[in-house]
Amino acid sequence: MQTSFVRQEPTPEWFPALALTIASPPRGSVPEVDFKAEFGAAGDGATDDAPAFARLSEAVNTGKVAPGSVIFLPQGGYRVPGNTTVSVRRPVVLRGAGPGQTVLRLEYTQQRSTFLRVQGDGVYQAHSTSLYDGRQEANRYPNGPFAAVEIGQGSPKRGDVAVTVDRPELFKAGDNVYLLCDDYGDETTYTAKNKRFRHYLLKQYLAVTRVDGNSVAFDTPLRHDFAGAAPRLYRWQPVPRFGIEHLSIEDRSTIADTEASNTFKAISFDGVVDGWVWDVHFLDNTSIPLSVGKSRRVVVSECVFDRARHVGGGGNGYLPELYYSDDCLVEYSTSVQGRHALITNWSCWGNVFRFNRVSGTPNTETHGEYNVENLYLRNDARGSRMEVGGGGTTVHAHDGPFNELRENYARAIRILKPADRANRLIGNWHVDAPTLNGAETFQENNQRVPAAWPDYPYAAYCGHDHTQTAETARPV
């Protein structure tokens, strides 16, 4: 694989997340439905409002509420006991009166439960033949329409903006697609029970811009070579423009902390494109307040992730988590006292984290499951390690190339594993000596500073309560 690095500033052409905006509809521009009046919610902090959320889900999924409508949750406390998932498959905007004014109080008891899941169709499924913690995996191809990629002129390469397929009639401009191929390269052994190929979990979400004969063109260049067997292009149907904004989610769940498995997720995006979570305060979280999974171009802006009670192994305490997601933006948010902050967890490509503040959490990280070309830009993580190749070696392995830490303030900057290669450390301020275990790491203008160094130039831009604003995804 080509791993040479050409010095350049991050641009929207290569990082589309830098140009994302929140598509929140102005008041009066779309139908607005009052959650109390239409669905019978009490909002008094005592009544069980779970049935009202169930009625909301049914109305959205059956079209009784028009796609794109705003569901307004007036000021009040909405108590949601039980373990039922509110499942939504069509786009709406959940809009509160503001954090601290509209408060969802969740009272769940079951591990692996979820309050709200927004789910698309034909989403990507993990495909890998590696050995994971003693579990031999096999390729699980998604159940959806796909075309084989023709490789007569060679396999798809990093930087390509089109592929040739055997069934071009499956695609048209505007389609959401993802490209994948099988694992390839030499095998790395971490333990007898944990082995990975050099390149694995290869997938990239894209949008079709043009179909010309057998050639399908994309909106974004490929970030990686797709040189493994069975390259194929899938069409899928995400939920577009789903938004959550201006409210608090207070987690009062009582879920056993076994540290053996993922526990509770408040919000789970599972196949969303061009969605957002804006000005939401997640308070006293059980484990993962927000998981943006199998999605693309989602914006998380001006949010608070305040504490996780479960911070042991097995997927706990991620504030917040991206999971199998590409080209998303997490900005101007505050993360306090979790296990990991600003985490790319399993094959996340091209995401941007900028102007966030992290405190009381050990690290930010790409989590060691082949995350590719994620950009951490101007984050204030002065008490935390900023790491590529995290997750240890008992279960996890190495990340992909081209991840970049740029102009952050961290306790330490670290490339953790020898198989982590061609990553970039540029213009960071850090207290401890760097850890450089990877190969072909590019370094430029990083500076060591004393502990409690007070002069980080971007401090006022970072966090939900930032006093200055640079680039932003907020609506104008």
Domains of the chain: 29-122+240-461 (2.160.20), 131-236 (2.40.33)
Q: Is the peptide bond before 67 cis (omega within 30 degrees of 0)?
A: no
CA nearest to 336, candidates 366, 367, 362, 370: 362
pLDDT digits (tens, 9 = 90+) for 112-127: 999 999 999 999 988 9
Q: Cα dist. 152→141, 166, 223 in Å?
A: 23, 11, 21
Taking 60 as the threshold, does the pLDDT of residue 1 lie above it? no
Q: What span, in angstroms and rounded, lies between the C-alpha atoms of 273 and 152?
A: 32
pTM for the structure as a whole: 0.96
Taking 50 as the threshold, does the pLDDT of residue 353 lie above it? yes
Per-residue pLDDT band for 3 (boundaries 50, 70, 90) equals: very low
First and final CA of the chain: distance in angstroms? 41
> What is the predicted pLDDT for the residue at 143?
82
Phi, psi of 165 (to 5 degrees): -125, 165
For 408-431, give one letter per residue: b (16+ CB within 10 A) or e: bbbbbbbbbbebbbbbbbbebbbb
> What is the predicted pLDDT for the residue at 2?
44
β strands within 309-441, DSSP E? 318-323, 329-331, 334-336, 340-345, 352-354, 357-359, 363-366, 375-377, 380-388, 404-406, 409-415, 424-426, 429-430, 435-436
Q: 286 CB contacts (<8 Å, ≥6 apart)? A: 108, 251, 253, 255, 263, 264, 308, 309, 310
Answer with the residue of higher pLDDT: 57 or 1: 57
CA angle 301, 70, 26 (to 5 degrees): 65
- Dihedral, CA atoms, 153, 154, 155, 157, nearest 10 degrees? -90
pLDDT digits (tens, 9 = 90+) for 400-449: 999 999 999 999 999 999 999 999 999 999 999 999 999 999 999 999 99
Q: Which two tokens stand for residue 160?
A: 């390509």
Mean pLDDT of the chain: 95
Sheet holding 194-199: strands in order across?
A: 135-136, 131-132, 194-199, 184-191
For a pLDDT cut of 70, what percent of the chain falls above it?
Answer: 98
Per the listing, tokens 């303030």 go with 409
Using only C-alpha atoms, the chain has a radius of gyration, in whole angstroms, of: 22
Taking 70 as the threshold, does the pLDDT of residue 470 lie above it? yes
